[in-house]
Amino acid sequence: MKTTKSLVICAGLLAAATVAALWAVPVEPAEPDRVGFPADYQAKYEVIRVSNRPKAVSLGTIYANERAASVKEMGQLPYPEGSVIVMEWAEPLKDSAGVLLVDANGLWRKGKVVRIDVMRRERGYGEAYGGKRVGEWEFASYKTDGSYFQPPAKPAACAACHQEAGAERDFVYRGRFPPGEGN
């Protein structure tokens, strides 16, 4: 009887320890992150597109660093090495009755930023994604403090969906361009 009891206690302790350990483990991306959190993107990058994302009830703002922003026409594609494109997701602001606030252009007014998706293009990038590779882009998703977005988004899954944007658009759905067939 005594053994059963201590076994139960042991199992309980083990479960508690496992939960504690899982809790303490920081969220890491499945592949090594070579993208890097662009902490100063709001100050340093150019806003190349803003749109309401009705499905996610979110305001999407696309930012580009200088290299990515240098692509102004489709004929300039692919993006140069060192390009970084950010998709920022923000909760729209609401009035006291819960109605979403819009600006003069019909865009939702930006509230709290909840997620920062980043793609970076460098020479040789993308190999780790195997068949899901999209050119030389790698992907990562962050929270505003630079920690990884939860639940951990697998970067190869980002790439797999961006394959649909097509090689002719360098696997970038929009950037500053109007939507293509994949979007």
Distance CA 51, CA 56 (A): 12
Please say whether the beta carbons of 41 and 86 come within 8 A. Answer: yes
**Residue 172 interacts with ligand HEC (CB under 6 A)?**
yes
Please say whether the beta carbons of 159 and 122 come within 8 A. Answer: no
Distance CA 99, CA 102 (A): 9
Cβ closest to ligand HEC, residue 150 vs residue 183: 183
Distance of closest approach, residue 103 Cβ to ligand HEC, in angstroms: 17
Cβ closest to ligand HEC, residue 4 vs residue 105: 105
Distance of closest approach, residue 145 Cβ to ligand HEC, in angstroms: 17
**Residue 87 interacts with ligand HEC (CB under 6 A)?**
yes
Backbone angles phi, psi at 155, to 5 degrees: -60, -30
Nearest CA among 70, 62, 60 for reference residue 41: 62
Draw the binding track, 147-166, toward ligand HEC (x: CB under 6 A; -: no contact): ------x---xx--xx--x-
**Residue 68 interacts with ligand HEC (CB under 6 A)?**
no
**Residue 47 interacts with ligand HEC (CB under 6 A)?**
no
Q: How many CB atoms lie within 10 A of CB 133?
A: 18
Draw the binding track, 90-129, toward ligand HEC (x: CB under 6 A; -: no contact): ---------------------------xxx----------
Cβ closest to ligand HEC, residue 18 vs residue 44: 44
Give the residue at shortest CB distance from ligand HEC.
Answer: 158
**Residue 142 interacts with ligand HEC (CB under 6 A)?**
no
Q: How many CB atoms lie within 10 A of CB 117?
A: 19
Nearest CA among 123, 116, 139, 150 for reference residue 41: 116
Nearest CA among 113, 87, 91 for reference residue 35: 87
Give the binding site for ligand HEC (CB under 6 A).
Answer: 49, 51, 60, 62, 85-87, 117-119, 139-141, 153, 157-158, 161-162, 165, 172-175, 183
